[in-house]
Copies of this chain bind each other. A is one copy, B any other.
Amino acid sequence: MDIWHLLIGRPLKTAEAQSEEIGTSEGLAALSLDALTSVAYGPEAIAIVLVGLGVAGIRYLLPESLAITGLLALLVLSYSQVIDAYPKGGGAYAVSRENLGTGASHLAAAALLIDYILTVSISIAAGIGALTSAWPELLPWTVPMCLALLAVVTFLNLRGVGESARAFLLPTLLFIVGLLAVLGWGFVHPHLTHPVHPVPVRPPHASAFFLMKAFAAGCTALTGVEAIANGVPLFRKPRQLRAKRTEWVLGILLATMLIGIAALTIRFGVIPGGNQSLLSKVMAAAVGRSWAFFVVSLAITAVLGLAANTSFGGLPLLASLLARDRFLPQSFAIRGDRLVFERGIWVLAIASAILLVAVRGNTQALIPMFAIGVFTGFTLSQLGMVVHWVKTRPRGWQMRALLNGMGTVATGIATLLFVITKFPEGAWLVVVAIPLLIWMFRRVYRYYQRVGQELGIGRVPDPVEPRPHPIVVVPITPTLTELTRRALDHALSLSDQVIAVVVLFEEPGDDNASTKTAKQFLQAWEVWNPPVRLSILKSQYHSVVKPLLRFISTLERQADERVLVLIPEAVPEGLGASLLHNRLGSVIRQALRRRTDVVIGTVPMHFPDSDRKSTGQKEKPGLQS
């Protein structure tokens, strides 16, 4: 077993694919952490905008949070309807493909891909942010810690997340109960702890645009509420009921936390900024830097890591669906040894790593890019649901369509608000990236169409029948070796027309030596005298490949016959040995493969790195002469 498989585990049989069924509390752990953990950065995103008005601006945090909670209620209602309508899982891609057509589904897919990458980056950054808020001495290690956490999540996913939901329960519980307890304590015993900086009661005047800007920033707190509707098939029966219950519990918990954080922020006069997160400051104000503060900080880091993990379940699956529909490279649809979509996992990990390094692990720097993808997905899902109700017309479809219609309008407006207010700060990147992705989907699709045509997929191929032997060309070195012998031996078993080709060139300022080499070679060849033709190519340049390519092209053109090139190749075993062999065989192979249509064969001879003689062991009797 190699090192790689020690790390990610042995290959799994298809039958070993796990199918776990979950209840409400596991559902909360497995599917809603992305949404719940938004409290680690959402309220701060609003507060950062508000303090543009000075300290008193923070007064607006409560009404803004109430508005966000209103939108949350609408979303929870809407997604309960999605759960009703799509028991097999109603991702934005599936819903919009079914109801709105390919164009909209591409928009949804592009938005979701970007969203998954940003969720991972933000969750990891915020998770490490929670750590460095609690232990400021870790601050210089922010980026390495982010990458380390990302690496852990990536490897867990490459292994395949087995018994995930149950393992997630404990940290999730600790996070929910702990955070609610800390917030509650803050309301009951404020004066036991930090001094309170009273915020002026009267908030300053604020323009509607300013308030909308803060509202848009707060929309990041709602990311992830769609995940439960995507994962309905994971629930135990009755699936839809359990999924809806989970959605509602999520809504209530998230709303409580958002309002609680907003109220305490105002009560303690906490101001965002510096190296400590707003949530951490609120917690420290509520319970001091006590054991409770540190335990809940650790729990927040843990659940943010798990939230990143959720996206690792999402993007590879979505990419595999897109690949199956031929909008992404097929490799995204191939399961690895551990039955996971490895390619998708790698792409997600690398893209997130680049983002994390680019913003140096700063959560708030990622906020302006976030939420666009999510809210585009929300809007398309809702719109798709409206179309769904209008098409299917079940009992009470008008009410349902109205509800989803309201959802469409609200999330659509939020998306636009977000793009407009955050455009120069980073939203432009997403606005540029989405059309690029869609363009890519289409290009990939067209390419596969064309290749499919050339390959004649779906047609029965033309008949094949036995045909004359090809000319076999064997490039050899000017030193006769066992490898030369093997290659010619194999060549003679394939055809009676075998040509050995040797390229000779001179060393600069050393004419005699090269003439000597040529003479010695010819003498040895005559003594050996194998039943094949010998062609000597003299080269003025210091290159074997070019004369060989020219020779083979000429042969193909002249002979009007098939050509097979058989390359003798030393196969070093181990890194040490491979540095000691020139890679001429490989170079010739690559050049021929790129430039010609000839069939290329290699005759391998193994050379082990260490001193044991393994060529003997490796050879099968059938292969020896």
Contact = CB atoms under 8 A, between A and B. Distances in A.
Interface of A: 11-15, 17, 19, 329-331, 334-337, 339, 444, 446-448, 450-451, 454-457, 460-470, 479-485, 488-490, 492-496, 505-509, 524, 527-528, 530-532, 540-543, 556-557, 559-564, 566, 569-571, 573, 576-577, 579-583, 593-594, 596-607, 611, 613, 615, 618-623, 625
Given A508-B14, A541-B11, A597-B618, A462 B625 contact: yes
B337 A543 contact: yes
Q: Which of A489, A505, A524, A559 has the most CB of B within 10 A?
A: A489
Q: Which of A490, A493, A596, A600 has the most CB of B within 10 A?
A: A493
A329 B579 contact: yes
Oligomer copy total: 2
Given A564-B494, A602-B600, A480 B460 contact: yes
A584 to B, nearest CB: 9
A28 to B, nearest CB: 24
A335 B505 CA distance: 11
Nearest to A446: B611
Contacts of A505: 14
B597 A541 contact: no
A231 to B, nearest CB: 15
Contacts of A495: 494
A14 B485 contact: no
A464 B485 contact: yes
Contacts of A564: 490, 494, 601
Contacts of A506: 14
B465 A531 contact: yes
A14 B541 contact: yes
Given A482-B455, A508-B339, A622-B556, A463 B494 contact: no
- Smallest CB-CB A-B distances: 3 pairs: A17-B508, A601-B601, A455-B481
Contacts of A561: 622
Given A330-B581, A467-B489, A600-B604, 18 more contacts: A14-B506, A14-B507, A17-B509, A331-B583, A335-B508, A335-B542, A339-B508, A446-B611, A451-B580, A457-B479, A460-B524, A464-B485, A464-B530, A464-B532, A493-B562, A573-B594, A597-B604, A597-B618
Contacts of A593: 569, 571, 602, 604
B450 A611 contact: yes
10 contacts: A331-B583, A339-B542, A447-B576, A451-B580, A461-B484, A464-B489, A470-B490, A560-B621, A571-B594, A597-B620
Contacts of A450: 611
Contact of A493 (B470, B484, B530, B615): B470
